[in-house]
């Protein structure tokens, strides 16, 4: 299940990452290629490949994912200015790692529509 997943390896501490939050269900760490002054990835420890695989049993987990991202935005001082939460699904969205991750982007103005 978790065989060749990069983010499962980060969860298992087999690959290093700059971890900023960890609890029983979630991990958050700095994106290796930041696209904004704040660019964190918030992930469930449970391996879920894409948003298409989220099921009823994951509702609490997904809620906690967003709550943790918002808490991190507050902690980084970007809550009031604003920030963007992004979860890409499948190739045309730009998804490259197939373990769901919520991008927390902020610290600069965000544009719309996204590229
Ligand atoms: P996606 O393109 O799938 O939405 O996002 C994957 C993100 O993971 C990218 O922003 C990329 O920079 C980040 N990433 C890829 N490999 C690593 C890694 O080994 N460590 C960390 N911290 N981030 C990574
Ligand atoms: Zn995984």
CATH number of residue 87's parent domain: 3.30.428.10
Please indicate, yes or no, if residue 112 is contained in any of the structural domains.
no
Please indicate, yes or no, if residue 115 is contained in any of the structural domains.
no
Helix (H) or strand (E) holding 27, with range, is strand 26-30
Catalytic residue among 47, 101, 103, 111: 101
Asked if 101 is an active-site residue, the reply is yes
**Short-list 52, 78, 11, 13, CA closest to 104:** 78
Residue 87 is predicted with a pLDDT of: 98
User: pLDDT in tens for each of the 115 residues of the chain?
Assistant: 557 999 999 999 999 999 999 999 999 999 999 999 999 999 999 999 999 999 999 999 999 999 999 999 999 999 999 999 999 999 999 999 999 999 999 999 999 999 8
Residue 49 is predicted with a pLDDT of: 98
Q: Which residue range forms the structural domain that includes residue 62?
A: 6-106
Query: What residue's CA is closest to ligand 1, atom 15?
Result: 32
Ligand 2 center to 47 CA (angstroms): 4
């Amino acid at each position: 299940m978790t065989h060749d997943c990069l983010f499962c390896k980060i969860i298992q501490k087999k690959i290093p990452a700059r971890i900023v939050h960890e609890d029983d269900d979630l991990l958050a760490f700095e994106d290796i290629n930041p696209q904004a002054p704040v660019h964190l990835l918030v992930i469930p420890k449970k391996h879920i490949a894409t948003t298409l695989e989220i099921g009823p049993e994951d509702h609490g987990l997904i809620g906690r994912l967003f709550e943790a991202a918002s808490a991190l935005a507050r902690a980084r001082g970007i809550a009031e200015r604003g920030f963007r939460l992004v979860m890409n699904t499948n190739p045309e969205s730009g998804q490259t790692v197939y373990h769901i991750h919520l991008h927390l982007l902020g610290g600069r103005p965000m544009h719309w529509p996204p590229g």
